[in-house]
Structure 1
Amino acid sequence: MSLKNLTLSKAAPTAVPSDAKGRARAKVLAYLEQQAALLAATREGRTVDVRRPVYQTNEAGVRVKVMAPVHVRRGWFEDTAGTLHFMIRYGSKPLALDKAGHTSVAAGSLDGLPQVIEALSAAVRAGELDAQLTVAAQERRKAFKRRGTATKSV
């Protein structure tokens, strides 16, 4: 076999955005895609199987990577008047969608929810929520402490 028989290309894997704003946008877009899949599954009466890689120790005492199921939390809820609302969560906290602090969008019913999710996805891609994402990312970063900053005295 030689290179003449192969189809060569200049394709490269897509990289994770290196800037904080790009990472926050990617995280929210992934959340919105997950919510759209959850909504479609809910309307069809089935469940969504979402998995993520985790490391576990097997019987031999070796750490191995396995795919563990993840509980997907719904982004929509119904208020006391029966109106359906949708909110974006960044981490575990609702994301403020404007300067006034509104955190949810009224969708009305399940039929209006796909349009709301699509509109929010378009707004994130256009950068309309960059200021709110920056603040949310900074708040989320405060919850984590660096390891190894304290030195041990022997």
Structure 2
Amino acid sequence: MSFIAKLKLVTSKRERNLSPIMLRRQKLATKIEEQLELARCQKSGTLYAPKRLKTVTNESGERVVVETTKRVKEWFWKTPNNKINLSVRYGSKTLELAKGKNAIELGTQDELIETLALLQQVVIGGELDEAINNASDKLRAGFAK
């Protein structure tokens, strides 16, 4: 019996065009995953330094691909009363999570990690679509002349 005969073969076509809503959800979920890894590393006392590939021109004029450290800005910070505030960002815009509210107040690093994991599920589920669309519209308006 051949190897191919052992596999379950199906007819399928890959969907190439995702809706803009799905693309925005994926983008935000990926960024939340970065924040989650950053928070986990801070809790364990290690350095979070994700890598990315970058094309640069060297001294001889050749374009080469080099691996660099990706810069990840924290979405969370400590307040003077030792609480942790977390804001959710889409691009350079902070999402408004409720009317006039743009941050989540948390008590501990463990709460931060749990909240980021929950936020990722909420984004994938589509509960923040309206806030994402508002932020996306504001970003696009900044590029219009």
TM-score by length of 1: 0.77
Task: Report the AA paired with residue 50 of structure 2.
Answer: V
What's the counterpart of residue 100 of structure 2?
101
What's the counterpart of residue 21 of structure 1?
21
What's the counterpart of residue 139 of structure 1?
138
Instruction: Give how far 1:66 is off.
Output: 2.5
Task: Report the AA paired with residue 19 of structure 1.
Answer: S
**Total equivalences in the alignment:** 141
After superposition, the CA RMSD in angstroms is 2.7
Q: Percent identity?
A: 26
Higher helix fraction (1 or 2):
2
What's the counterpart of residue 118 of structure 1?
117
**Off by >4 Å, runs of 4+ in structure 1:** 4-12, 14-17
Task: Report the AA paired with residue 31 of structure 2.
Answer: Y
Task: Report the AA paired with residue 76 of structure 1.
Answer: F
**Equivalent-residue separation in structure 1 for 2:31 and 2:113 (angstroms):** 14
Q: Secondary structure at the match of 1:111?
A: helix
**Equivalent-residue separation in structure 2 for 1:23 and 1:93 (angstroms):** 17
Q: More deviation in 77-86 or 136-145?
A: 136-145
**Alignment gaps of 5+ in structure 1:** 147-154
**Alignment gaps of 5+ in structure 2:** none
TM-score by length of 2: 0.82
